[in-house]
Amino acid sequence: MFAPNNKINLFGLMATLFVGQNKVFIPEVDSTNSYATTLLKNVNAIEGTVVFTDNQTKGKGQRGNSWIADSSMNITLSVILKPTFLSVKKSFYLSKITALALYDGLTETLNNSQFDIKIKWPNDILIDHKKAAGVLIENSFKEDGIIWSVIGIGLNVNQKKFENIEATSLGLITEKDHDLEKVMNLIFVYLEKWYLQLRNMNFDLIDQAYLQNLFRVNETSSFEKEGKKFKAKILGVDESGLLLVELENGETKHFEMKEIKMIY
Ligand code: BTN
């Protein structure tokens, strides 16, 4: 009997309504985020369009850092979304849903096995305390709304050697190679699932899932701010995406990503 599976269509492919239905593959590009932004400006690319590459030569990371990934080994892509329904003050929900999509995609790829997958604020994905994925979201805003968002995702898949000892990959932890296209399609499925929750304004559901999988939530962690180390308990994230912590003296503080670095 035909077993309905909401992730597989009749052709055995991952089913999405729009995320990844229009794909633009560039063998080599400076940054998929920059290319997607150019596409938006020049041809007003449709929502769900994905730009992906085998070789990203000038990948952009958070805090002005670069994102370096060996060619043909990893996932480097950007998804174009048009969340015109979202107010600017709620734009951090795009970070939350992207992190959740990666969390779900990796959990499924790793068969819900013993690996410890966590979302590190704001939207990194850690596996066994090492970074496997990073996200860079670039938005275009109007008065109180968003015109478009470019969701840039870098996921370490089959690369086994990293200069940064805090990095890992799916291949490194499982000691086998993974099918890049399969992993990529799974991320599209989950990104669309969480994006539709956002479009339905299911903020509480998104908040709960994000908090439930947040690295070190309700635990005391070490941080660094302007060269000084301090300890604080992570309470969660406020509406604008600032990290909410309780200092050792009981005071509650909100921090921006640029202000602090978590030591883990
Ligand atoms: C981070 O610093 O953690 C964010 C890294 C984001 C990297 C991805 S790779 C695809 C997309 N294109 C870019 O230039 N950056 C993002």
**Structure confidence at residue 264 as a pLDDT band (50, 70, 90):** confident
The DSSP secondary structure of 106-158, one letter per residue, reads HHHHTTT-S--EEEETTTEEEETTEEEEEEEEEEEEETTEEEEEEEEEEE--S
Do residues 121 and 227 make contact, with C-beta atoms less than 8 angstroms apart? no
Q: Tell which residue, 151, 163, 157, 86, has the closest CA to residue 123.
A: 151
Name the residue of 28, 53, 76 to mutate for ligand 1: max ligand atoms within 8 A of Cβ.
76
HSE toward the beta carbon, residue 61, CA cutoff 13 A? 13
Measured CA to CA, the distance from residue 191 to residue 104 in angstroms comes to: 9
Positive or negative, the CA dihedral 29, 103, 88, 64 is negative
Q: Which pLDDT does position 1 carry in this prediction?
A: 34
Ligand 1 pocket member 60 (CB < 6 A): yes
**Structure confidence at residue 99 as a pLDDT band (50, 70, 90):** very high
Q: Which pLDDT does position 144 carry in this prediction?
A: 84
Average confidence (pLDDT) over 62-91:
97
Ligand 1 pocket member 59 (CB < 6 A): yes
Q: Which pLDDT does position 6 carry in this prediction?
A: 55
The answer, yes or no, to whether residue 157 has pLDDT greater than 90, is yes
Q: Which pLDDT does position 51 carry in this prediction?
A: 98
Q: Distance from the CA of 214 to the center of ligand 1, in angstroms?
A: 20
Ligand 1 pocket member 124 (CB < 6 A): yes
Measured CA to CA, the distance from residue 85 to residue 196 in angstroms comes to: 11
Do residues 227 and 219 make contact, with C-beta atoms less than 8 angstroms apart? no
Which residues lie closer than 8 Å to 168 by C-beta, 6 or more apart?
Answer: 127, 128, 130, 131, 132, 156, 162
Ligand 1 pocket member 154 (CB < 6 A): yes
